[in-house]
Structure 1
């Protein structure tokens, strides 16, 4: 169970987190709960994962769990009912990865990635902005793939480029209510998003373990020679959400270990 820190900058805050069951989403929930957040609206396709996460939080935390696809408007009709008391913050993090060269990219595959990563982000952002109190803040999880081209990333990169622009537009639209909207663009992060990607599965087979495959990718692509931990990205998201970032909006925090240099 996360221990609440003596100073609680997010005390009693109400926060929406998508993609909450694992990876950056779960790490963000833990980070925020340790700093006083006491009401969470948690969204993920992984219903057992959501329940497991909620069970580890402080009993004082109120959690509303919504299992489903963020690209499903009906899910947001349901989730909005849990946000009517007003959100203070949102971490819009849900997304999927895929890899295929453009000539081999099945159109249904393209639509699946764009639906989850971009359509789902629009629906998440609509819910957050419609139910957020004035003075709130939002962080969208983008990716370094949204501005650095690599073979095989057409669908994922295009979707994340859309997220980066969406954050800027939302920041301008929400500024009149003193709501800040920013994006974070991680490079490689050790999360489950890699699992099931054919290229990564090939590396695991070649090098004998998931950890070895991640190390190989990090050494090849990242000047710092390492990928981020989900907890590190969560802390950076927390900074963007918090009062220390009070004059930051429409920005993109690149956290990629130098990958995009």
Structure 2
């Protein structure tokens, strides 16, 4: 059976773990001909195994020079997924930590988006394409201690809308996805979660958090979010652009 992404080329950042890794596998299973996978974790990126032509790029998405050396010719899809987390109240927030989070989550997203849109608009005839930005329900609902992370993700939601308007003339669709809790390694950088995981185990810590935070009582798996991103990338969502798919288990209600 022909896959939804048969013969297509896709860029995925943050591809060595979590949502990015699950998406790389899904795109390969769905027939993608070429995957450009970007991550700063060289060992984890090298371990990604998909039965498809893969170009692995090790680097920081917030480094503008990185994008000068990545060939995105013929790009059909892009997933702006790389991100970092952190937690501190505003009064106690270290400015260097604020900049670290904003640099990767917002500057890196902008540079990725810019490179992808330029590639999709290049050539004598506009190819068009589709792009998804991985935002977060933290960019919609305010919580104590997540100013940097939440603001970076709120900015991504608006960035997707601006990009959708700008890209429409070139047949480029841009959407965002805003999950709430997802069982990925990004949680290990959150002190509260990391401490609880040591006490009761990661699975139990996820279950405990989800029971408190979401009406549905669970967090998403990375493969579930990857499937939702694939929908936004694919032809089934051909009339969607500038939209945010909120997949939060009821967290923002």
Q: TM-score range with shorter-chain normalisation?
A: over 0.9
Matches within 5 A, 1:162-173: 162-173=155-166
- Give the distance between the partners of 2:104 and 2:114, measured in 1 at CA: 15
Task: Report whether the alignment pairs 1:253 with 2:253.
Answer: no
Deviations 1:74-122 (A, max 9, x none): 111111xx212x1000011000000000011000010000000000000
Shift in Å, 1:135 = 2.5
For 1:204 and 1:191, the matched residues in 2 are separated by 13
Query: RMSD in angstroms over aligned alpha carbons?
Result: 0.9
1:204 partnered with 2:197:
yes
Residue 217, structure 1, aligned to residue 228, structure 2: no
> Which residue of 140, 144, 152 corresponds with 1:151?
144
Report the secondary structure of 1:27's partner residue: helix
| Aligned partner of 1:87 among 63, 69, 75 | 75
Cα distance in 1 between the residues matched to 2:218 and 2:246: 15
Residue deviations 1:52-85 (CA, integer Å, cap 9, x gap)? 10xx211xx2111111110001111111xx212x
Distance in 2 (alpha carbons) for counterparts of 1:201 and 1:230: 19
Compute the displacement of 1:237 (Å).
Answer: 0.3
**Given the two structures, how large is their TM-score scaled by the length of structure 2?**
0.96
Structure 1, unmatched stretches of 5+, are: 1-5
Which runs of 5 or more structure 2 residues have no equivalent in the other structure?
A: 121-125
Which of the numbers 112, 117, 131 marks the counterpart of 1:124? Answer: 112
The equivalent of 1:47 in structure 2 is 42
What corresponds to 2:61 in structure 1? 70
1:233 offset after TM fit, Å?
Answer: 0.3
In the alignment, which residue of structure 2 is the partner of 1:112? 100
1:19 alignment partner in structure 2: 14
Normalised to the residue count of structure 1, the TM-score between the two structures is 0.93
**SS at 1:42 equivalent:** strand
SS at 1:87 equivalent: coil
Q: Give the distance between the partners of 1:128 and 1:91, measured in 2 at CA.
A: 9
CA distance in 2, matches of 1:12, 1:32: 11
Q: 1:174 aligns with which of 163, 167, 176?
A: 167
Distance 1:70 1:30 in 2: 21
Distance, in Å, in 1 between the alignment partners of 2:45 and 2:195 is: 29
For the residues of structure 1 that align with 2:106 and 2:54, how far apart are their CA atoms? 25
Within-5 A mapping of 1:136-147: 136-147=129-140
Measured in 2, the distance between the counterparts of 1:9 and 1:134 equals 17
